Structure 1
Amino acid sequence: MRTKFTGRFQGYSSRDFQKDILSGITVGVIAIPLAMAFAIASGVNPEYGIYTTIIAGILISLLGGSKYQIGGPTGAFVPILLGIVLTYGYADLLLAGLLAGIMLCLMGILKLGTLIKYIPLPVTIGFTAGIAVIIFTGQIANFLGLTGIEKHERFIANMKEIIFHVDTINIYSVITALICLAVILGTAHFLPKVPNSLAGLIVSSIVASIFFAEQVPTIGTVYGGIPNALPQVEMLNITWERIERLLGPAFVIAALGAIESLLSAVVADGMTMTNSKHNSNRELIGQGVANIVTPFFGGIPATGAIARTATNIKSGAVSPMSGIIHGIFVLFTLLLLAPYASAIPLASMAPVLMIVAWNMSERKHFAHLLKQKTGDSLVLLLTFLLTVFTSLTVAVEVGLILAILLFVKQMSKQLVTEKVLPDHRNKQNKVLPHVVNDQHDCPQVSIYTIEGPLFFGAAQTFEKNILDTLQRKPRVLILRLSKVPFMDTTGEATFRNIVKEIHNYGGTVLVSGATSPLKETLQKNKLLEEIGEEHFFKHTGEAIDYALTRLNTNQCIGCRHFAFRECKQLSQPSCLNNKTYN
């Protein structure tokens, strides 16, 4: 157990520690303004974002499954948390975060971490872009300094608020926001190593305090001063009634937290040159523990932050120690500099979040998928629109369902059911579909090649094609199944119906080329026994040889189809004394 816990620090040296200190401080500097901004956008006081960064950041690095993951409040949570605060209140948000943490731990314990790969990319990009739009538009009021704005859960209601109060625009807030935006963009371009968000906040705050004193709302005037200490641990008011009410919101938090943290871990794996890969289930447990503990300190839900994790790696992080140092650095900054944060104008926070929204919008991937004009484009667009105009829960549910339906439709097209016969002009005597026609088709033996998964989406097509042949009641039906990878319950039921139909009129079903997994499936559902194990052949040629022994040779006399090489002899009146093989 000790080896498992300390494995990520194996071979750790003092030089590595120095690198982790540098990267941890760098990420910490970036995390402070984002923590306050995300908290404000989520409808809670800015200090709660800082508390989350400290506690969750340390625990996620300490207990998670990624060496480089940086945890804390993120933009993806903003619309969800704001909706919970507006609907239930801050106290219930804390309980929802606790429940989400328990769910994340259960996901990790049940080893559900690998399920992230089953979420289609169009769904992920769609809801991420939708969240970006919500965050961006949610900061328009602060950017313009509008007053009398009431926050709503729905996008359209918030847009109406902005339109109805546009006459309250504060020119000083606009100037402050533009200064912050200019500094952020200029710093990113000319001084890329300097934390641009922090630079924008500092410069614009200084300008506003000197030239626009008491003309623009600040964190202090709106939320009160930020205390320069961690809050005391307080027990949450946990009742069964509140738990039942918050299970739905908690599940949404847990699901999104799992998706974002594991995506961040995957990005981190791709950015590093080492062979070290994250442990997805351990990562979920680490995220879960962090979200269980954080609410007792007033913190909001946290998850892995892709941008901060990438910065951590680029800054030279070697181990999870950098994430721990990042949390400790934010703690000391809170203790020493909290009073100064109260002077930050809300107009300065707006560009910070707008830049975050712009960067997380996945605009290039969004445009690329949209231009393809495929089923993925429809999934992307629908998920995006539903995220913006309804809720993330509805968007993801509908997006996943639509993606599944389109996948099933596409997979059903992959099933090929073709009637075939040996091509005598081919040296290998291969069975091919183009050989079959009205003048060249055995009335007693039908051979079909089945290619593709035999599942519920394709079972009906398979049955229809075979039943067309069964109307002629051939004595033998040969099914070539070497290219059928699997068969589900619906496919098995369809297959069984065909077998019963043939057996009812005295025909025989032969199977060639069935793979071992497919034979195991047929054995489990008793179809192997029903068909007869002696009727399974490795090669189609063996099945054909057996089928020719089951012919009614009287019916062969005079036949000019010549489907098989033996047909010329069988069509002669004197062949085998007209004996019928049963």
Structure 2
Amino acid sequence: MPTTTARQYLSQFVPKLYTVLREGYGWHDLRSDAIAGLTVAIVALPLAMALAIASGAGPEKGLYTAIVAGFLISALGGSRVQIGGPTAAFIPVVFVVIERFGFGGLILCTLLAGLMLIAAGLLRLGTLMKYMPQPVITGFTAGIAVSIFSSQVKDALGLRMDALPAEFVPRWIAYGKHVATAQPAAIVLTVLGLAAIIALRRWRPKWPGFLVALLVCTAASLAFALPAETIGSRFGELPSALPTFDFPHIPFERTLELLPSSFTIAFLAGVESLLSAVVADGMTGGRHRSNGELVAQGVANIGTALFGGLPATGAIARTATNIRAGARSPVAGVLHAVFLLAFMLMLAPLMRYVPLAALAAVLLVVAWNMSEAENFRHTLSAPWGDRVVLLLTFLLTVFFDLTLAIEVGLVVAALIFMYRMAESVEISSGVRATDDDLPGYDPALAVDEQQRTRLPKGVEVYQISGPLFFGAANRLDSLLDQFFEPPKVFILRMRLVPYIDASGVHALKNLATRCARRGIVLVVSGLQPQPNRVLADMALGERPGQLHFTSNYERALKLAASLAESRDGPAEHPPPGAQ
């Protein structure tokens, strides 16, 4: 690899933190970043614990993830203001992995996902994320929101249940069986938490609504001695020490079974982090390095796994909060992790009193925000194919499996896209007297009957409009069957074909062969650069007397006239079976 090319390649992975410090970083920048980091840490504290509990892990796992991954994503990432940590998108898949494989299985999943993300970044796949179909993203995001809501009913109502089923339908059946065990204290605290969050968002939007709701609910629970389950009663004391390397039993023998879940985690981490970076760019006017961001996400997930944490990615809401709080550089994200660590060390003894119903209220609001109900309704008014992809991805996410939903959603979206592209290809016998861009062209005179009067005797012409790819290539197979009497020369206009693939070249080659068998000369006119290059690469060139290429239609007409005149008579009909 030449030195210049190698330098350009490596520049994609230079952390934005290094770029910022090299450009110059002063006291005022540090002050702004410190305020922003403190603000985000206050928002992230209750979220990290709530997300971990909803995922089937202890609250300290969420804090470890926010600290370790938050630090690494900001220090190594390709965005100036990205905030990383645990997010709601991971809850369904993490819950299932822990239930089936234990926490050691999740550690292995997260490690594998980290390696996948690093590989994706090094292979420069970050730029491909922008081609993700929006109905797939909206569908699985809304499905995850429903799953999160479903997972919080137990704590929101204070139901007396043992293990919570991972599947959607069995979970609600279990809720129905235990609804009589609902605790009024838990319901009151859930309603109080929801009311506090909604009221603050309306009248004090700059206040940390989640943290205030937790404080209000905790104070009410202690003041009135409400018999509600708390973090301490379920999980015991939170650790008030630095995170340490944690190696539970890791079932390496089940690696193949965990690969689908690892792929799902990597996919979610990649998509959500890059979406968050795009949102940040829109708010700040900056530009992130997508491939560098993927590598940083991979390193962060490996790091959080080694410390016994959860999968992590860029968090859109916390990133937006960081920007609104005045963040200027990745230093804000690094300080957010430092502040979270300080909170954990100082406040761990007090966190045991936080009611689980209050955390459920936080996640119910997160689920509503994540559902993007208005965007879901808007997509339902899209063309039928988009509606199918949206609903299919949504239903599979809710009722089956997130991995299956993503895979099926992407495959169906690709098939519908190919169908649409194939349908957009037009092959018609109508031709214009001159090309659109030639002087004297009058669209009003472009009538088939008038156009065809210019064709020399024994010459037929068809025009292809649209990409000639595998979804539309078979349309060429029946072209010759449309002639009552085979012509001497057949002109195929390809001026409006911007793209051709191997299947298109194969179909064109078969058409030329069939023409030769019938004694018809094929003339291809107006090749654009990409089709011209692909035909040359695949060695489909001129065959004198059988296949010719011209740069435009006017030259094709002249060549066709001379070829038709040089032939002794009309082309003979082929014997049966000659095709």
Pairwise same-fold verdict (TM > 0.5)? yes
Q: Pick from 457, 461, 466 the counterpart of residue 475 of structure 2.
A: 461
Check conservation: 2:155, 2:356, Cα contact below 8 A: yes
The alignment's C-alpha RMSD in Å is: 2.4
Please list the CA deviations of residues 298-340 of structure 1 after superposition, one character each: whole Å capped at 9, or x if unmatched.
1111111010001111111100000000000000000000111
SS in 1 for 2:495: strand
Structure-2 residue corresponding to 1:270? 282
State the distance in 2 between where 1:532 and 1:82 align. Answer: 68
How much does 1:466 deviate?
A: 4.2
Residue 514, structure 1, aligned to residue 527, structure 2 = yes
User: Is the aligned partner of 1:411 residue 2:425?
Assistant: no
Q: 1:423 to 1:95 in 2, by over 3 A?
A: closer
Q: Cα deviation per residue 1:440-491 (whole Å; 9 max; x = unaligned)?
A: 976610111111011111112233234323x622111111111111111221
The correspondence for 2:325, drawn from 315, 321, 336, is 315
Where do 1:1-400 residues align within 5 Å? 4-5=14-15, 6-9=18-21, 10-213=23-226, 215-235=227-247, 237-238=249-250, 240-273=252-285, 276-400=286-410
1:434 shift after superposition: 2.0
2:463 corresponds to = 449
Asked whether the 8 Å contact 1:95–1:236 carries over to 2, the reply is: no
Query: Which AA in structure 2 matches 1:310?
Result: A
Distance in 2, matches of 1:184 and 1:485, equals 54
Contact 1:231 1:297 in 2 (8 A): yes
Amino acid paired to 2:462: Y
Give the distance between the partners of 1:304 and 1:200, measured in 2 at CA: 24
| CA distance in structure 1 between the partners assigned to 2:172 and 2:48 by the alignment | 25
Q: Is the 8 A contact 2:269 2:314 kept in 1?
A: yes
Measure the CA separation in 2 of the matches of 1:371 and 1:345. 41
Contact 2:107–2:250 (CA under 8 A) maintained in structure 1: no
Are the counterparts in 2 of residues 36 and 50 from structure 1 also a CA contact under 8 Å? Answer: yes
Is this contact kept in 2: 1:443–1:472, CA < 8 A? no
Instruction: Look up the SS of the partner of 2:429 in the other structure.
Output: strand
Shift of 1:506: 2.5
Output aligned runs, 1:493-572, within 5 Å. Answer: 493-530=506-543, 535-552=548-565
Residue 434 of structure 1 corresponds to: 448
Mind listing any 5+ residue stretches in structure 2 that lack a counterpart?
1-9, 571-579
Call closer, same or farther: CA 1:239–1:140 in 2, change over 3 Å: closer
Partner SS, residue 479 of structure 1: strand
Q: Is the 8 A contact 1:423 1:435 kept in 2?
A: no
1:218–1:343: 8 Å Cα contact kept in structure 2?
A: yes
Residues 422, 429 of structure 1: 8 Å contact kept: no
| Deviation larger for 35-44 or 257-266 | 257-266
Residue pair 1:422, 1:435 contacting (<8 A) in 2 also: no
| Partners of 2:278 and 2:288 within 8 A in 1 | yes
Runs (5+) with no aligned partner, structure 1: 558-582
Q: Deviations over 1:396-433 (max 9, x none)?
A: 11111111111111111111111135659x95498956
**Distance verdict in 2 for CA 1:554–1:104, change over 3 Å:** closer
Instruction: Output the CA distance in 2 between the equivalents of 1:507 and 1:472.
Output: 11
- Counterpart of 2:486 (choices 467, 473, 490) is 473
Q: Secondary structure of 2:75's partner?
A: helix
Kept in 1: contact 2:109–2:262 (CA 8 A): yes
- Go from structure 1 to structure 2 and tell me whether the alpha carbon gap of 1:509 and 1:339 turns closer, same or farther (over 3 Å shift): same
Contact preservation (8 Å) 2:108, 2:251: no
Distance 2:181 2:480 in 1: 73
The Cα shift of 1:237 comes to: 4.4
- Give me the whole-angstrom Cα distance separating, in 1, the residues matched to 2:132 and 2:313: 18
C-alpha contact 2:522 2:547 (8 A) present in aligned 1: no
CA contact (8 A) 1:104 1:288 kept: yes
Report the TM-score when normalising by structure 2: 0.91
Aligned amino acid, residue 342 of structure 2: F
Contact 2:71-2:333 at 8 Å conserved across structures: yes
Give the whole-Å Cα distance in 1 for the aligned partners of 2:398 and 2:545: 58
Counterpart code for 1:257: A
Q: Give the C-alpha shift of residue 103 in structure 1.
A: 1.2
Higher mean Cα deviation, 197-206 or 291-300? Answer: 291-300
Cα distance in structure 2, aligned partners of 1:333 and 1:554: 91
User: Is contact 1:149-1:162 (8 Å) kept?
Assistant: no
Question: Aligned partners of 2:485, 2:450: CA distance in 1, in Å?
Answer: 15
Taking structure 1 as the reference length, what is the TM-score of the superposition? 0.90
Distance 2:145 2:230 in 1: 24
CA distance in 2: counterparts of 1:197 and 1:554, whole angstroms: 85
- State the secondary structure of the residue aligned to 1:417: strand
In structure 2, how many angstroms separate the alpha carbons of the residues matched to 1:293 and 1:422? 64
Query: SS state of the match for residue 541, structure 2?
Result: helix
Using the alignment, how far apart are the partners of 1:348 and 1:100 within structure 2? Answer: 32
Within 1, Cα distance between the matches of 2:67 and 2:342?
Answer: 10
Distance 2:531 2:339 in 1: 58
Contact 1:150 1:161 in 2 (8 A): no
Q: Give me the identity figure in percent.
A: 42
- Per-residue Cα deviation, 1:136-188 (whole angstroms, up to 9, x for no partner): 12111111111024212211111111111000010011111111111111111
2:482 and 2:545 map into 1 onto residues whose CA distance is 24
Deviation sequence 1:316-372 (CA, Å, 0-9, x none): 110000000000000000000011110001111111000001011111110001123
**What's the CA shift for 1:235?**
3.9
Number of paired residues? Answer: 552
Give, in whole Å, the separation in 2 of the partners of 1:438 and 1:148. 79
Instruction: Say whether the 8 Å CA contact 2:213–2:358 is kept in structure 1.
Output: yes
Q: Higher mean Cα deviation, 283-292 or 498-507?
A: 498-507
User: What secondary structure is seen at the aligned counterpart in 1 of 2:309?
Assistant: coil
Aligned to 1:570: none
Secondary structure of 2:296's aligned partner: helix
